[in-house]
Structure 1
Amino acid sequence: MRLYTLGINHHTAPVSVREQVAFGADKLPQALASLAGGPAREAAILSTCNRTEVYCAAETPEDAARWLADFHRLPIDRITPYLYTLPEREAVRHAFRVASGLDSMVIGEPQILGQMKDAVRAAEEAGTLGTLLNKLFQRSFAVAKEVRTTTAIGANIVSMAAAAVHLAGRIFDSISNQRILFIGAGEMIELTATHFAAQAPKAITIANRTVERGEALAARFDGRAIRLEDLADALPQHDIIVSCTAAPLPIIGLGLAERAIKARRHKPMFMVDLAVPRDIEPEVGELDDVFLYTVDDLSQVVASGMEARQAAVVEAEAIIDARVEHFLHWIEQRHSVPTIRALRDSAERMRRHEVEHAMKLLAKGEAPEKVLEALSQRLTNKFLHAPTQALNQAAASPSTSETGLDIHSAVTRLFHLHQQD
């Protein structure tokens, strides 16, 4: 059995293909049991919005690929163009890179590590995580920790949402003391709200044209929702404003912002406009007590963070390459265990047989000295029979035979021999 990884991810396939091979949490136990009961001896499945990967110990990866297609009731040629199959060395390196965030859409993001741990937990519960995969994932987690603690792979800002929180932290001593108003309820607002909510602000409000959708999002962050028509009254009550709608015209004009600042008695207001076209008139940023940032401003922060992360990738890859070699060395040692066990079992059978023979001779009254001498000679002959026979057969082959030379070299190393002239 060898280690293999096969899968489809955001590098190789569009979402329309990825969603066809995804595994929901409710399907994982059945899938793992089917996989480990068929083409694989050990199995784990990592399934996220960006990837579906099968990690397995199997004879060949082809059967696992067919299993993936069959399980999802797809023709194999539907996924073959997007499928990657990684043999042992590449599989190990891939697992280390995935856990460290180097294969993610956003380099260095930490979410994938938690998703990988969930995949391992599911495999453990299904009983499909054997010695090989368990060791692979535990090493992957250790490598990810080493990469994060010794490089700057996760230390820089690489998303608009994180950049917004970072810039707000420059204006306010603590975001936990601020009230935040989000205008809109789309994906970008949801992501930005998640980042700000992690800072435990004093209050979160969602203003949206469709109040039901706003209420659904606000409920996630223990906030409240208001209608977009109530924005004028709500604006002065909030310290941080983040807006991202599909409105064709600005939602916050200069006059509205001026009235809000006056009502706040000129307390600073931090605004982030993530919309294109813009939700906030550019002139608002000229007010003394308003700090307005646009998509372009945040893009500069993100670009700087991405550049720093790319520099850290070089260091991370060097760490991973070294750890891959260590793991492969462990695998090679593991492959030799059955041979070592068989060798010792064979030697033990020889020993017991000769001891029984010697005990019988002693029981007949044979001299102990003669019995011990015979015992040692018989054991020596039996132990050396196989290597001697192999050497004789090699000698009968042409002197240039690679097999013969290999046998001579192996015996010399095994028995620490030094040829004499």
Structure 2
Amino acid sequence: MQVNQPKDISNFHIVGINYKKTDAAIRGLFAINQDQYQQLLLAAKAAGMDDLFVLSTCNRTEIYGFAGEPGDLMDLLCTSANGNPQVFAELAYHKSGEQAIRHLYHVGTGLDSQILGDYEIIGQIKGAAKFAKAQGCIGTFLERLVNSVLQVSKLIKNETGLSSGTVSVAFAAVRLLEAKVTDIQQKKIVLLGVGKIGRNTCKNMMEYLNVRNITLINRTTAVAEDFAGQHGLQYAPYEEMDGVLKSADVILVATNAPHPTILKAHMEGTASKLIVDLSIPFNVAPEVRELAHVEVVNVDDLSKVQDETLQKRLNEVPKAMSIIEEHMEEFLYWFKMRKHAVVLKAVKEKLTEIHAREIKEQKNGAHYKLEDMEQVSSRIIQKMINLMAGKVRREAESDKGDQYIAMISEIFETGFNQE
């Protein structure tokens, strides 16, 4: 009997780039959109890789999964992205095994975010994993790990002050507007792009800056119309964008299109403007910065916005780290016991096979009630499994647990090689 061996945790890797070593322009080249993501997952399955997902946000592009080498994941990612693989290799980081697992916990809880405590990242992880699962590329290991990260993120948000104050790029944009734009309630504001970041930014502007003179524009007009109706705002069809942009005082861009949406021609001959580009890759053409009357701020600039609660959040980091370590230990224990469970399942199947063979051999000659003997035999098998499982569980914290499993596997010839 051959047992399907669980994946070796040392082959779990994360490869990526983030804001720490790259600017937004470089990150934009390696951002993965929905179509690229789907093609990447199809390529992964064709290569026999079926437990991975990609996290692509304004601050990072990372791929998590099982592979023989981190370079296998890097090649997979770069094949789908628009950037130069050599540039990626020079700027990328990679971690394996427990370090890779810990990295995902840190990312998911905002400890590794450009704005410490950013809580939006956990929703992005959830969405990325959900998409990969729908394509058949999330296995038991990653599903369990992502669920653990989701749980830990919620615990840290509820039990610590790590996410107090400014916790997102969307809110940092509002703080920037508060500092730079006087009498903002009287200014004409245009929000281009009504996706998640755009909606969050808009809500923050209404709540914290008390602005209502906001015109929404979205490529799908019905989306802008619906959101505007819910919040008492204005909207304009995408086809009327040029005129609306020219009359605006403040423009927020959250379109996340593959190419610039706002061009130099849109801004020439207009009054002074502030443009906040929340998109990755940048959706404001570089030439716009050449115009003296236009100020452009991007996501990297937003990270410099200081929040008065920063020190409080920094003080909460040790508490968050403690929660992460506790739940990571539980996850690793589950993984270790899962390896044991595979062997025990194989042993049970082996005993059941023996039981069936003995019953068959005795059916013709012996005088007994077959039903009674089958019940007794089944109880014996389950008791043996329970005894072995209990012993392994008690010794799980020492090397003896692995030794017992290895011995059991050898005795019953399961074909499982205990790592």
Normalising by structure 2, what TM-score?
0.58
What displacement does 1:329 show?
1.1
- Measured against aligned partners, the alpha-carbon deviations of 1:96-124 in whole angstroms (never above 9, x if no partner) come to 11111111100011221222222123213
What displacement does 1:247 show?
11
Matched, 1:307 2:311: yes
Contact 2:50–2:136 under 8 Å retained in 1: no
What SS is found at the alignment partner of 2:34? coil
Q: Give distance in 1, aligned partners of 2:79 and 2:98.
A: 27
Aligned to 2:414: none
Letter in 1 for 2:347: L
- Measured against aligned partners, the alpha-carbon deviations of 1:245-271 in whole angstroms (never above 9, x if no partner) come to 99999xxxxxxxxxxxxxxxxxxxxxx
**1:206-285 mapped onto 2 (5 Å cutoff):** 212-215=245-248
Q: Give distance in 1, aligned partners of 2:203 and 2:108.
A: 23
Matched, 1:97 2:106: yes
Contact 1:99–1:112 under 8 Å retained in 2: yes
Structure 1 residues 39 and 20, CA gap change in structure 2 (3 angstroms): farther
The higher-RCO structure (CA 8 Å, 6+ apart) is 2
Aligned to 2:139: 130
What displacement does 1:144 show?
0.6
Aligned to 1:269: none
Aligned to 1:67: 76
What displacement does 1:31 show?
1.4
Aligned to 2:285: none
Quote the RMSD (CA, aligned, Å): 4.8
What SS is found at the alignment partner of 1:8? strand
Aligned to 2:51: 42
What displacement does 1:68 show?
2.1
- Measured against aligned partners, the alpha-carbon deviations of 1:189-237 in whole angstroms (never above 9, x if no partner) come to x99876322458363279xxx973454966999xxxxx859xxxxxxxx
Contact 1:185–1:214 under 8 Å retained in 2: no
Q: Give distance in 1, aligned partners of 2:290 and 2:117.
A: 30
Contact 1:101–1:109 under 8 Å retained in 2: yes
What displacement does 1:359 show?
3.2
Please point out which of 343, 357, 362 is paired with 1:358: 362
Q: Give distance in 2, aligned partners of 1:63 and 1:179.
A: 50
Matched, 1:319 2:352: no
Q: Give distance in 2, aligned partners of 1:80 and 1:106.
A: 25
What SS is found at the alignment partner of 2:113? coil
- Work out the number of aligned pairs and report it: 300
Matched, 1:8 2:41: no
Q: Give distance in 2, aligned partners of 1:24 and 1:219.
A: 21
Larger gyration radius, structure 1 or structure 2? 1
What displacement does 1:326 show?
0.8
Q: Identity of counterpart residues, as a percentage?
A: 22
What displacement does 1:74 show?
6.3
Please point out which of 24, 42, 54 is paired with 1:33: 42
Structure 1 residues 182 and 315, CA gap change in structure 2 (3 angstroms): farther
Q: Give distance in 1, aligned partners of 2:144 and 2:82.
A: 32
Q: Give distance in 2, aligned partners of 1:160 and 1:202.
A: 16
What SS is found at the alignment partner of 2:320? helix
Contact 2:14–2:63 under 8 Å retained in 1: yes
Matched, 1:144 2:150: no
Q: Give distance in 2, aligned partners of 1:246 and 1:91.
A: 42
Q: Give distance in 1, aligned partners of 2:251 and 2:405.
A: 73
Please list every run of 5 or more consecutive structure 2 residues that lacks an aligned counterpart in the other structure. Answer: 1-6, 193-197, 216-242, 255-269, 273-288, 298-303, 385-398, 412-419
Q: Give distance in 1, aligned partners of 2:405 and 2:35.
A: 56
What SS is found at the alignment partner of 1:53? strand
Please point out which of 319, 339, 343 is paired with 1:339: 343
Q: Give distance in 2, aligned partners of 1:95 and 1:215.
A: 41
What displacement does 1:160 show?
5.7
Aligned to 1:87: 96
Q: Give distance in 2, aligned partners of 1:343 and 1:142.
A: 34
Normalising by structure 1, what TM-score?
0.58
What SS is found at the alignment partner of 1:304? coil
Aligned to 2:257: none
Structure 1 residues 76 and 358, CA gap change in structure 2 (3 angstroms): same
Please list every run of 5 or more consecutive structure 1 residues that lacks an aligned counterpart in the other structure. Answer: 168-177, 222-226, 230-244, 250-273, 277-298, 384-402, 416-421
What displacement does 1:408 show?
8.8
Matched, 1:329 2:362: no
Aligned to 1:397: none
More displaced 10-residue stretch of structure 1: 309-318 or 68-77: 68-77
